[in-house]
Copies of this chain bind each other. A is one copy, B any other.
Amino acid sequence: MTPASLANLIESLRVLPGVGPKSAARMAYHLLQRDRQGAARLAAGLTAALERLKPCARCNNYSEVEVCDSCTDPRRDPRQLCVVEMPVDLNRMEETHAYKGLYFVLMGRLSPLDGVGPREIGLDRLIKRAQDGVTEEVILATNFTVEGEATAHYLGELLKAKGLKVSRMARGLPAGGELEHVDAMTVAQALLDRKTI
């Protein structure tokens, strides 16, 4: 009873993360019935993004130009290089207004179980990037998950072997965190890394 192009639209909406058959059908009917203009915009948006976005040659983040605006911004300090897993992590760092150096986006993390090794996340490009003669410190800001920690450890060893100063984001209690409600591992780490005041 479902025409081919409708069935195909429903099926193709399932490429979106977290969208199963029911949501996909709901989305398709919503677009067809209530927002055909929006659907056309979405089709055009997808096509344009696929065409225009390439990895920046320096930081590996998505960019429409060879080297992105952030990497060429003269107000940023080229002596610091912050390594993050994903563009969302970079955005979060920027929101803090606490960092003025440059970035490198891994677009992933080491995850041998998923077949993601050093080559898949372009670690060689990062090593090369960090040895530009200007970078003095590499700040590892991968997540504090098992994979993120492993990635930081692996990267740290490689970069230190090249004579670079390498640092890692601090672990500890979150701002506003109460000991009672923070997990034991975090409290233990905050104790280990306590600071003399």
Chain A residues engaging chain B, CB cutoff 8 angstroms? 1-6, 8-9, 11-13, 15-18, 23, 25-33, 35-36, 38-53, 61-64, 68-70, 86-88, 90-91, 94, 107-108
**Sample of 12 A–B contacts (CB below 8 Å):** A1-B61, A1-B70, A3-B52, A5-B49, A5-B64, A8-B45, A13-B45, A18-B23, A33-B107, A40-B46, A43-B46, A43-B47
Contact: A94 with B1, CB < 8 Å? yes
Contact A12–B38 (Cβ < 8 Å): yes
Given contacts A2-B87, A36-B50, A46-B46, 19 further A-B contacts (CB under 8 A): A1-B69, A1-B94, A3-B63, A3-B64, A3-B68, A5-B45, A6-B53, A6-B62, A9-B46, A15-B38, A15-B39, A16-B27, A17-B26, A17-B27, A25-B88, A32-B53, A32-B62, A42-B43, A43-B50
Contacts of A41 in B (CB 8 A): 12, 15
Bound form: Cα–Cα A93–B160 in Å: 67
Query: How far, in Å, is A67 (CB) from chain B's closest CB?
Result: 12
Say yes or no: B15 contacts A48, CB within 8 Å: no
Q: Which residues of the other chain, B, contact A47 by a CB distance below 8 angstroms?
A: 40, 43
Q: Residue of B at shortest CB range from A23?
A: B18
Given contacts A12-B41, A33-B107, contact A1 B46 (CB under 8 A): no
CA of A196 to CA of B68, assembled, Å: 77
**Contact partners of A27 in chain B: CB under 8 A:** 16-17
The 9 closest A-B pairs by CB, nearest first: A15-B38, A12-B45, A43-B46, A9-B49, A5-B52, A9-B45, A12-B42, A3-B64, A43-B43
In the complex, residue of chain B having the shortest beta-carbon distance to the beta carbon of A65: B3
Nearest B-chain residue to A42, judged by Cβ: B12
Cα(A88)–Cα(B13), bound, Å = 17
